[in-house]
Homo-oligomer: A and B are copies of this chain.
Amino acid sequence: MPASPLRVAIVGATGYSGVELVRRLARHPGAIVTGAYGSSASEAPRRLPGLARIWDGEVQPFDAGRVAHENDAAMLALPERAAAEIAPALLAAGLRVIDLSGAFRLRDEGARARWYPATGALPEGTVYGLAERDSAAIAGARLVSCPGCYPTAALLALGPLADAGLLAGDVIVDAKSGISGAGKAPSDRTHFSENHGSVAAYGVFTHRHTAEIEQELRHAVTFVPHLVPLDRGILETIYVRVPGGTTAADVASAFESAYAEAPFVRLTGTALPEIKHVAYTNFCDIGWVLDEAGGRLVVIACLDNLVKGAAGQAIQNFNVAFGLDERAGLL
């Protein structure tokens, strides 16, 4: 653990994930927030409503020079185009970068060109960072590309099953997300009246998180996201065909061995998890039910999309990257 607090800048501090970063890093025992910045150099300075007494600073226009010179690390909570533009210079200045956008998640050039066309080549030292599965890589990384909110839950649920050889056929991920996942920009899609009392699927066969899940899982998935009328949280219902003869003990063992040391994954077994128990926390709760005779497995995973799905796991990655206690600032 470093002798003195690490200096951190938060870039893109006014979006929902950015505010969560500020809220939590302001109390982080091993970090000092040297500044919070908007997404561009032209944004007027502003205070963050609701953060008085928690972090009383002002969000400043983005200033690449100041960010580069004053910090050990930068956390980027930006649209992917802005992240793709900003990250290389910060890396060149020697900062470690924790990026929350999708800009650097896909390793395959063709896939990246399709889903994140603003990104060019991946900077050297880029790793995909799901702390529970990639901690060694994160520890040595220059740029940690944090998983998307949907892939975080999907990979935490499916990764141990893939490792244990329990994915025997179609994998279907039916995801239900709160509206904050659609971002802070006002639109028809985020209007209160369009979502209250309603549920809607979107992006069927065309959501770019599919490519991300498949890259990490090395298994095809059918992924359908839905918007449900709540603010924070994702619950994924995952349908898996397991190999003949798979027992409940096999499934439990796959999860338990994977997460024996993971502070933020809670296994609930057949007592299925619910969003309300993970909202405002960095936990991902995972439960499951196996139909042994039929070879069908249903796994439920849930998390807070702004915490474990975004700002919380970014801080977790920051902790891992700098050798701090993985839980620092997150409890």
Whole-angstrom distance from the CB of A274 to the nearest CB of chain B? 4
Q: Report if A195 contacts B (CB, 8 A).
A: yes
Q: Report if A331 contacts B (CB, 8 A).
A: yes
Q: Which of B178, B194, B274 contacts A200 (CB 8 A)?
A: B274
| Interface hit among A47-55, A133-141, A314-322 | A47-55
Query: Most B CB atoms within 10 A — which of A169, A192, A229, A279?
Result: A192
> Which chain B residue lies CB-closest to A199?
B235
Q: Are A228 and B190 in contact (CB under 8 A)?
A: no
| Interface hit among A63-71, A122-130, A181-189, A246-254 | A181-189
Q: Which of B169, B178, B298 contacts A205 (CB 8 A)?
A: B298
* Residues of B contacting A272 in the complex (Cβ-Cβ under 8 angstroms): 200-202, 204
A278-B174 Cα distance, complex, nearest whole Å: 22
Q: Report if A112 contacts B (CB, 8 A).
A: no
Q: Are A195 and B198 in contact (CB under 8 A)?
A: no
Q: Report if A96 contacts B (CB, 8 A).
A: no
Instruction: Tell me the residues in window 305-331 of chain A with beta carbons closer than 8 Å to chain B beta carbons.
Output: 331
Instruction: Tell me the residues in window 170-215 of chain A with beta carbons closer than 8 Å to chain B beta carbons.
Output: 170, 172, 174, 176, 178-180, 184, 186-188, 190-202, 204-205
Whole-angstrom distance from the CB of A196 to the nearest CB of chain B? 4
Q: Report if A58 contacts B (CB, 8 A).
A: no
**Chain A 20-62 interface mask (CB, 8 Å, partner B; 1/0):** 0000000100000000000000000000011011100000000
Q: Which of B197, B204, B277 contacts A233 (CB 8 A)?
A: B197
* Residues of B contacting A179 in the complex (Cβ-Cβ under 8 angstroms): 192-193, 196
Q: Count this chain's copies in the assembly.
A: 4
> Which chain B residue lies CB-closest to A198?
B276
Q: Report if A107 contacts B (CB, 8 A).
A: no
Q: Report if A255 contacts B (CB, 8 A).
A: no
> Which chain B residue lies CB-closest to A273?
B200
Q: Are B172 and A239 in contact (CB under 8 A)?
A: yes
* CB contact under 8 A between A228 and B200, given known A16-B193, A263-B53: no
Whole-angstrom distance from the CB of A17 to the nearest CB of chain B? 12
* Residues of B contacting A289 in the complex (Cβ-Cβ under 8 angstroms): 204-205
Q: Report if A7 contacts B (CB, 8 A).
A: no
* Residues of B contacting A298 in the complex (Cβ-Cβ under 8 angstroms): 201, 204-205, 222, 224
Instruction: Tell me the residues in window 272-287 of chain A with beta carbons closer than 8 Å to chain B beta carbons.
Output: 272, 274-280, 283
Q: Are B275 and A197 in contact (CB under 8 A)?
A: yes
Q: Are B300 and A231 in contact (CB under 8 A)?
A: no
**Chain A 236-247 interface mask (CB, 8 Å, partner B; 1/0):** 010101000000
The 8 A-B residue pairs whose C-beta atoms are closest, nearest first, are A50-B277, A198-B276, A186-B186, A179-B192, A200-B274, A174-B174, A204-B289, A196-B231
17 A–B pairs (Cβ distance < 8 Å), ordered by A: A53-B266, A174-B174, A178-B193, A186-B191, A192-B229, A197-B197, A198-B230, A198-B233, A198-B274, A199-B228, A199-B233, A200-B274, A205-B289, A205-B291, A222-B239, A229-B229, A239-B239
